[in-house]
Structure 1
Amino acid sequence: MNIAESQAQGRRVVPGNLGPVNSLPLTSDDVIDRLGTALTGAGFTGDGIGELLGERASTALAAGTWWPALRATRQAPADQQALAVLVRLFVLGGTETDHDVAAALPGITVDELVDQGVVTRTEDGVRALLDIRPHGADDHDYLVISDQDSLLHPGTVSHEHVLGVGAASLSLAHAVIRTPFRRALDIGTGCGIQSLHLSTHCDEVVATDTNPRALALASATARLNGLAWDLREGSLFAPVAGERFDLIVANPPFVVGSGAQDYIYRDSGIEGDGVSRQLIEQMADHLEPGGIAQLLANWIVRDPERWDERIRGWVEGTGLDAWVVQRELADPVSYVSLWTADAGENLRATADRATAWLDWFEREKIAGIGMGLVTLRKPETRSGEPDVVIEEILDAGQEVTGFEAQAYWARRDYLAAMSDEELLAARLTTAPVFLETQSLPGPDGWQQVAALVTRPGGPGAVLPVDEVMTALLAGSRGVLPLSVLVGLLADVHDVDPDALAEAALPVIREAVGRGILYEAE
């Protein structure tokens, strides 16, 4: 059976039996277990490496500067030499002697590591083929296995290259709602980052990928951390045809392009933004009632003034509730530069690929590429039209988190259940917010021209306010019903209370939706 056939049938991959010896890395459960024991014995943990490197070198390494960490390992005391060797080998991409590697990993031979595709022998010694490093999340300390990237070993990465922990995977992990779920699906698992997080709050995890090498490394990552996932090979929903899940997360190869599949980790082989569209359009068939789906997506923008037009058409056609947050609108040059930077190609190859890519964007009349997070929800019952919000939130510090995503849906449900009369009868409280004003100099001194209320840390939690709304927020302390506050303000401004309530209610609902106002307990 060829790869295309196995993808179409959604072939189930059994950990430890992923193919002939040497065709894929870490196919031996015994080797994985002994490797894990040796790494643990050397103190190869987040805390252990942090103590070895020190705060400054650790911070620099997290920011992408590796040489202070290398310097720290060379200064390691005698009782941390094994750990220093392992950090240089698996984290920093260094070359170590056969003797030092064997000493750092007792109970496993270098020949076994070579046979299992973990390391290779060079003229200078032993060099790692895989990146192994701790990943701390959800109060757990994991070990993650991926391929070493081109920054550590100059040269073009392979077609089957498997990325490690990156900015995109971390942003999705931070955005996923972490309440308990029974059954979860991780589409495009790669080395298994999302599945690691899902394991902390989901009873069952099914993880899929089109790349057999990714599934091999995900299987090894799971076993190294004492976890068990149902790993399946295939594209999109083919491996789970007819199945439904309570939570679906996806970090697919969403890069927008001509449909060529140069690198599996970024290129889906589907032209344009087709992979994002297909995932969104097929999501409803695979969610249980009450289920949530969260995915990273890219979409084509031909008119920046109507950037939401394309993604809106996709989500509104699903019948699901949706919250779409565009975090960036990239121009074609910036977009192509971003995705050609990490493949390790030489300057000529990069220039040729980038030129052909930009030519395709020009032929397709693409002005930009929207990049963001899509959260979908399948209501347990449907009593009205789907609740769809599509917005652009660009500022740093306003990223969607799992806590904020969960709170967002709770607020949307609250507003949907509350009539205007019920909302006016409620006692509302203002969350901790900042009031920011903008003024211009004039003949009578500073003249205020705008005012904003901002809830720190809340994605999109910014509300323009006027004098009346500013006073209403100041007075909302959970003591008086909203109708009483509106009446008091109406008396102060000598206006009809009903007219003021009618004018204020849309802004009040917006404030509740942004988490700026909430009902007091």
Structure 2
Amino acid sequence: MSADLSAHPLSDHVVVESLGADLRAAGYDSEGVSALLGEEAEAALAAGLWWPAQRACAAAARRSPALVALIRLFLLAEALDESVVREGFPTTSVADLLTQGVLERVADTEYRSILDIRPYADDAGTYLLISDQDTGLRDGPVNHDHVLGVGGASISLARAVIRRPARRALDLGTGCGVQALHLAAHAEDVVATDTNDRALALASATARLNGMTWDLRNGSLFEPVHGEQFDLIISNPPFVVSAGAQDYIYRDSGVSGDRLCAKLIADLPAHLAPGGTATVLANWMVFDADDWQARPREWFADYPLDVWLVQRDLADPISYISLWLADAGEPADVLVARAGAWADWFDANGVVGIGMGVITLRAKDIGDDSAPVHILEEITGAGEEVTGPEAEAFLARQRYLAEVTDADLLALPLSTAPVLLEEQSLPGEQGWQTISHVVRRPGGPGAVLGLDEVSKALLAGCRGEVPLGTLIELLAGYHGVEADALAQAAMPVVREAIGRGILHEVSRPPGKSSE
């Protein structure tokens, strides 16, 4: 295979079309693969256990030879005889698959796949996604220009994006194109960029396999879209915090520390259209574990966009280094040397941890001269991951709180969303004694609020029937306190409850945007 084709696989559109036709004819899609493997074998394969899938393929070899051949090639990474390969590709020649970087020869008549071509599905449809095979399928280290497939980070990003219809959308650092697949369902024009030529080649083939057209451009950060604006920007950049070497393009930016993320954030406002939104995955350096926000606060000083930054994890240097070295497949002596140098750099720069999370940003509408809202917080609970609908509603609620006065709220009837009241008690002389009350809105990231007895009663009374001020007057009379004093004490809790979607105006359900 020539060096050019190695860096630019599937560059022949005719071969891509032929390959796609064979995959579709075999039923190689999410539904077909699931039906052949069965639920248990498919789940085992996703967890890295192969033999149940191999067993299912052996049982189905006679009735579905083409589909079995494709599963064995692309999902199980088996070396297959040419006769079996031809079962999966009746119209695409093996010679073309070799020269186009799909297969490699391992013996006289045996071949195995270089690429990972797999079905992928979301709420909008089912697709085929092309990437490089990871170290779970192949021996040895990955290449410098290795292209990742779908992973935990890309799935988290896809779920966190605010999915509005958009005229123009930008996928900055597209990799194999998984985010662009999602964008194509609700954006008229999709621009996708990367610095890795191989990634752009595989993204181009992914688009063609799925009958899509994306504007693919090579370049770093916003350089390929200079002077352009977008209604939606998403990015899963090479955010790994390190000394600045670029061992692997998919993870290493080539600049030290978290400067790539800092520059991405700094340059983003100029490219976001009025009213547009952006979702970015990022890592940042932490120099004091008790003040993990210090670095992001620098990024957002005097920042013109609304911001919701959620730290999902705070990793110590050893855990962080181990995480990122585990997927490269390097030999032990290389890992030891690389890990030691990386840890030395963290020590020399005073890095005690690395924050990891998702940032949602929103540009103000034309004519809106209000101050931007910046919320930086840590939400680490399982099941509390940021989702697009929750992010949109959260920013809308924060904008609402910035505009509404306490007097306005006291005049409004408020309603409590469907929440759960959780109480903790300790045994005492008089039996169980409640020591804490917490309300939680299921499914909402950070939608938890601690209450005292008075605020607990106040939320119970918010049923959208009487103004908040009237409820506070009733509670004040019951407890024998001044209504104004109780209102002053209650308003921070009321505002926090509104911000978390626990309380809302009767006419504004908590899951809806204010727009």
What TM-score do the two structures reach when normalised by structure 1?
Answer: 0.95
Q: Which of 212, 216, 219 is equivalent to 2:204?
A: 219
Shift in Å, 1:268:
0.4
Report the AA paired with residue 229 of structure 1.
W
* Residue equivalent to 2:16: 32
The letter for the 2-side match of 1:152 is: L
Letter in structure 1 aligned against 2:326: A
CA displacement at 1:442 relative to structure 2: 2.6
Task: Provide the rounded CA distance (Å) in 2 between the counterparts of 1:315 and 1:221.
Answer: 36
Partner of 1:134: 119
> Conserved in 2, the CA contact under 8 Å of 1:257 and 1:357?
yes
- Matched with 1:377 is 362
The CA distance in 2 between the partners of 1:208 and 1:485, in whole Å, is: 55
SS in 1 for 2:63: helix
Return the letter of the residue paired with 1:195.
Answer: A
2:495 maps to 509
> How many Å separate the matches in 2 of 1:50 and 1:483?
57
The 8 Å contact of residues 272 and 363 in structure 2, kept in 1 or not, is answered as: yes
Quote the residue 2:446 is aligned against.
460
1:506 maps to a residue whose letter is P
The answer for the alignment partner of 1:398 in structure 2 is: 384
> Is the deviation greater in 318-327 or in 258-267?
318-327
Structure 2 CA distance for aligned equivalents of residues 81 and 451 of structure 1: 60
Asked if residue 183 in structure 1 is aligned to residue 158 in structure 2, the reply is: no
Residue 478 (str. 1) matches residue 464 (str. 2): yes
> What are the residue-to-residue correspondences of 1:68-83 with 2, within 5 Å?
68-83=52-67
| Residues 361-390 of structure 1: per-residue CA shift (max 9 Å, x gap) | 111111000000011111114433220000
Are residue 235 (structure 1) and residue 220 (structure 2) matched? yes
Choose from 226, 240, 247 the match for 1:262: 247
Cα contact 1:160–1:213 (8 A) shared by 2: yes
Q: How does 1:442-453 map to 2 (within 5 A)?
A: 442-453=428-439
* Cα deviation, residue 20, structure 1: 5.0
Confirm or deny that 1:358 pairs with 2:339.
no
Q: Contact 2:124/2:185 (CA < 8 Å) preserved in 1? A: no
Hey, what's the Cα distance between the residues in 1 that align with 2:61 and 2:244? 52
Are the equivalent residues in 1 in contact too, given 2:7–2:197 (CA < 8 A)? no
Q: 2:34 aligned with 1:67, yes or no?
A: no
Percent same amino acid at aligned positions?
56
1:144 aligns with 2:120: no
- Within-5 A mapping of 1:287-306: 287-306=272-291
Q: C-alpha deviations, 1:398-426, integer Å up to 9, x for none? A: 00001101111221222223221221122
Aligned mate of 1:387, from 361, 370, 373? 373
Matches within 5 A, 1:28-107: 28-107=12-91
Runs of 4+ off more than 3 Å: 19-23
Q: Matched residues in 2 for 1:177 and 1:474: separation? A: 32
Tell me if the contact between 2:384 and 2:444 (Cα under 8 Å) persists in the aligned partners.
Answer: yes
How far 1:290 sits from its partner (Å)? 1.0
Counterpart Cα distance in 2 of 1:287 and 1:427:
36
**1:461-487, CA deviations, whole angstroms, 9 ceiling, x for partnerless residues?**
010111111111112111122112112
TM-score for both structures, normalised by structure 2: 0.96
Note the C-alpha offset of 1:441.
2.4
Q: Which residue number corresponds to residue 510 of structure 2? A: none
Cα displacement string for residues 124-154 of structure 1 (whole angstroms, at most 9, x for unaligned residues): 7110000000110123101000000111011
Query: C-alpha distance in 2, partners of 1:168/1:312?
Result: 23
Deviating more after overlay: 413-422 vs 93-102: 413-422
* Partner Cα distance (2:328, 2:103) in 1: 21
SS in 1 for 2:437: strand
- Contact 1:142 / 1:225 at 8 angstroms: preserved in 2? yes
**Distance in 2 between the 1:322 and 1:316 partners?**
11
Given the superposition, is the C-alpha separation of residues 68 and 441 from structure 1 closer, same or farther in structure 2, using an over 3 Å criterion?
same
Amino acid corresponding to residue 129 of structure 2 in structure 1: V
**Rounded Cα–Cα distance in structure 2 between residues aligned with 1:404 and 1:66:** 36
Letter in 2 for 1:262: D
CA–CA separation in structure 2 for the residues paired with 1:170 and 1:23:
26
For the residue of structure 1 that corresponds to 2:463, the secondary structure is coil
In the alignment, which residue of structure 2 is the partner of 1:441? 427
Secondary structure (helix, strand or coil) at the match of 1:352 reads helix
Provide the rounded CA distance (Å) in 2 between the counterparts of 1:398 and 1:516: 15
Q: Partner of 1:479: helix, strand, or coil?
A: strand
Secondary structure of 1:480's aligned partner: strand
1:415 corresponds in structure 2 to 401
Q: What is the letter of the counterpart of residue 144 of structure 1?
A: L
CA contact (8 A) 1:121 1:127 kept: yes
Query: What's the CA shift string for 1:295-329, capped at 9, x where partnerless?
Result: 00000001010000111110234221110000000
- Say which SS state the counterpart of residue 153 (structure 1) adopts: coil
User: In the alignment, residue 24 of structure 2 is paired with which amino acid?
Assistant: T
Segments of structure 1 that go 5 or more residues without pairing to the other structure are 1-18
Looking at structure 1, the residues matched to 361 and 6 of structure 2 have their Cα atoms a distance apart, in angstroms, of: 41
More displaced, 491-500 or 367-376? 491-500
Return the alpha-carbon distance in structure 2 between the equivalents of residues 235 and 67 of structure 1: 42
2:65–2:87 contact (8 Å) kept in structure 1: no
Secondary structure at the counterpart of residue 159 of structure 1? coil
Give the Cα separation in 2 of the matches to 1:22 and 1:500: 71
